[in-house]
Amino acid sequence: MNHASTTVFLWVLGSLQAFELVGKENIFQNTPCPAFLMFDNAAYLADMSFELPCHCKPEEVKAVVWYYQEHLGNRQTRVLSDFGGRVLTEAAHVRAGSDMLVRFSIRMFSLLVFRAQPEDSGLYFCGTRKGDYFYAYDVDIQSSQGMVATFQDHGQLPSADLHYGTLHIFTTFWEWTPCDRCGVRGEQWRIGLCYLQSPGLSPRYQQTLPGTVSCGSQAVPRQLRVKAQARKPELLVRSCIMPCEKRSVRKGLMAIVSYVARAGSRPWLPTVPIQFHQQRLGHGLIISCPGARPEHAVAWDKDHQYLYRTQYLTGVNRTMRVFIDHGNHLHIRFTQLSDRGIYYCWRQGVRVAGFRLGVITGGRQPFSFSDPETRSAITLALLGHLLLTIIFVTIHLCRCCCYLLRCCPDHSP
């Protein structure tokens, strides 16, 4: 590329970046803040992460501060910012049960809440450190406790709508997830949250449909909210079949080379990373799929056995010892010797990880070749011993050759 073309390329790139920045500023220039503060209604399932964008702000405001109130007019207001707009939390560092102030982050004027809990329901305000509000949300976090599972393969139907005069209570379903496995029969599901329709809702809360909000919205009067409490979120499950993604020729060759390399060195390693864990007999265990969220399509296998939700979803059988909860975690209660094996995790139709479970019967675990760490240590020790032997033999062969050359000089004339 010559100098002239480089100059043109940099000029075009600079123009695109300038256009992008102008476009971002125009979002706030073209969206005036309402004179009367309104609340956008949003509903999520517990343990989900969500983002609340600040859709409008004065042009002179360079950093926003987010506030939280449990109820409108509540004097106890939480400030969700470090007053600098810096990122305070990463999703990977958040654990279940963490305090709300540890589970949020601010990025580009938007508020991110990780692993939301029902107690996080309330009003969220976007404003300044002086307490001026520009935009607000009415957030409803619905608990997964008592969640109703419906299996289409068994001919089951979702719960029927409820009518109490002018009050209409129903379930609004999200889109279907992708198939949780590829190449074999899998499952997909959709989450349904509780909504209601009534003419007596507060007009201050913006609604997608006239008079329709989520059941835990602040717009719902207390007497109507009591009637909607019995309506639980729903999970609709059905079977599916999805072909695995076709690999290119290059990827196929790399896979063959990788398989041969593994077969020559560590034949027990599978195609996904394996984590080894030992559990004492009779103790409980919870396994999480790396990078998975409640809205993801996650599946579990034990060795060559598929753990389908129609049999292993929590609530299907009260006496279940092994089950999958609504957060896609695999639970094993009262570990038994038969639980030994490799548990594979699928995420969005791709197998991503494996967990080799060993069960300790008590005291110190006896020596066993089934432990991959033990086999790895033995293999490394044998390879080291073989390498030292080769070096030792090579040195002595060289010394013998030198000795023979000295003792047998060339007698040719």
Per-residue pLDDT, 31: 59
pLDDT of residue 81: 67
Give the residues of the chain that fall short of pLDDT 70. Answer: 1-32, 34, 81-102, 247-270, 362-376, 407-413
Among 142, 159, 290, 128, CA closest to 214: 142
Cβ atoms of residues 49 and 98 within 8 Å: no
Q: Which CATH class is domain 273-360?
A: mainly beta
Residue with tokens 């963490």: 98
Residue 187 has what pLDDT? 95
pLDDT tens digits, one per residue of 193-219? 999 999 878 888 877 788 899 999 999
Determine the 3-state secondary structure of 325 from DSSP: coil
Distance of alpha carbon 304 from alpha carbon 120, whole angstroms: 41
> b/e map of 213-250 (b: 16 or more CB within 10 Å)?
bbbbbbbbeeebeebbeebbbbbbbbebebeeeeeeee
pLDDT at 407: 65
The CATH architecture of the domain made up of 25-142 is Sandwich (2.60)
The predicted pLDDT at position 409 comes to 55
Q: For residues 128 and 79, give the distance between their C-alpha atoms in angstroms, rounded to a whole number.
A: 10
- Does this chain's domain 25-142 share its CATH topology with 273-360? yes
d(Cα 358, Cα 368) in Å, to the nearest integer? 11
159 Cβ partners below 8 Å, 6+ apart? 148, 150, 171, 231, 234
Task: Give CA 212 to chain center in angstroms.
Answer: 30
DSSP state of 187: E
Integer Cα distance of 325 and 313 in angstroms: 6
Q: Containing H/E element for 385?
A: helix 372-407
State the DSSP string of 139-165: EEEE--TTPEEEEGGGT--PPPPEEET
Q: Domain segments of the chain: what residues?
A: 25-142, 148-241, 273-360
The residue type at 124 = Y
Q: What are the C-alpha distances in Å from 247 to residues 160, 255, 307, 317? A: 45, 9, 27, 40
Which pTM does this prediction carry? 0.70
CB 276 within 8 A of CB 340: no
Rounded (10°) CA dihedral 74, 78, 84, 89: -140
The answer to whether 324 and 330 are in contact (CB under 8 A) is: yes
SS3 of 269, please?
coil
